[in-house]
Structure 1
Amino acid sequence: MRRTARLMTGAALAAAAVSGPLTASVHAAGSAGLEVRPSSAVPGGSVTVGTRACGADATADGDASAVGAGHFTLAPGSRDGEVTGRFEVPPSAQPGTYEIVAACVRGGREVRGDLVVTLTAVQPRGSVKTGVGGALGPDPVQTAAGVAALAVAAAGGTWLLHRRARGDGI
Structure 2
Amino acid sequence: MRRTARLLTGTALTVATAALATAPAHGGAPRPAARPYGAPTGSLEVYPATAIPGGQVTVNTAACGEKGGATGDAGAVGAGVFTLAPTTHQGEAIGQFQVPPSAQPGTYEIVAKCAEGSRQVTGDLVVALSAAHDQVQPRGSVKTGVGGALGPDPVQTAAGVAALAVAAAGGTWLLHRRARGDGI
TM-based fold match above 0.5: yes
Q: State the 1:24 CA deviation.
A: 6.4
CA distance in structure 1 between the partners assigned to 2:85 and 2:95 by the alignment = 6
Identity %: 56
What is the aligned counterpart of 1:94 among 104, 121, 126? Answer: 104
CA distance in structure 1 between the partners assigned to 2:104 and 2:83 by the alignment = 24
Give 2:43's aligned residue. Answer: 33
| SS in structure 2 of the partner of residue 47 of structure 1 | strand
Give 1:3's aligned residue. Answer: none
CA distance in structure 2 between the partners assigned to 1:51 and 1:98 by the alignment = 17
- TM-score calculated relative to the size of structure 1: 0.56
Q: Residues 118, 124 of structure 1: CA spacing in aligned structure 2 closer, same or farther, 3 A cutoff?
A: closer
Check if 1:122 corresponds to 2:132. yes
Check if 1:66 corresponds to 2:41. no
CA distance in structure 2 between the partners assigned to 1:117 and 1:54 by the alignment = 26
Mark the structure with the bigger radius of gyration: 1
Q: Which runs of 5+ in 2 are unaligned?
A: 1-11, 24-30, 136-184
Q: State the 1:78 CA deviation.
A: 4.8
Give 2:113's aligned residue. Answer: 103
CA distance in structure 1 between the partners assigned to 2:47 and 2:32 by the alignment = 19
Any residues of structure 2 matched to 1:32-51 within 5 Å, and which?
32-51=42-61
Give 2:95's aligned residue. Answer: 85
| SS in structure 1 of the partner of residue 109 of structure 2 | strand
Cα RMSD (Å) of the superposition? 3.2
Displaced runs of 4+ in structure 1, greater than 3 A? Answer: none
User: What's the CA shift string for 1:63-100, capped at 9, x where partnerless?
Assistant: 00000000001111351200011000000000000000
CA distance in structure 2 between the partners assigned to 1:60 and 1:37 by the alignment = 17
Q: State the 1:121 CA deviation.
A: 1.1
Give 1:52's aligned residue. Answer: 62
Q: Which runs of 5+ in 1 are unaligned?
A: 1-5, 18-22, 126-170
Question: How many correspondences in the alignment?
Answer: 110
Larger helix share, 1 or 2: 1
Check if 1:113 corresponds to 2:119. no
Give 1:139's aligned residue. Answer: none
Q: State the 1:122 CA deviation.
A: 2.1
Q: State the 1:104 CA deviation.
A: 0.3
2:121 aligned partner, one-letter code: V
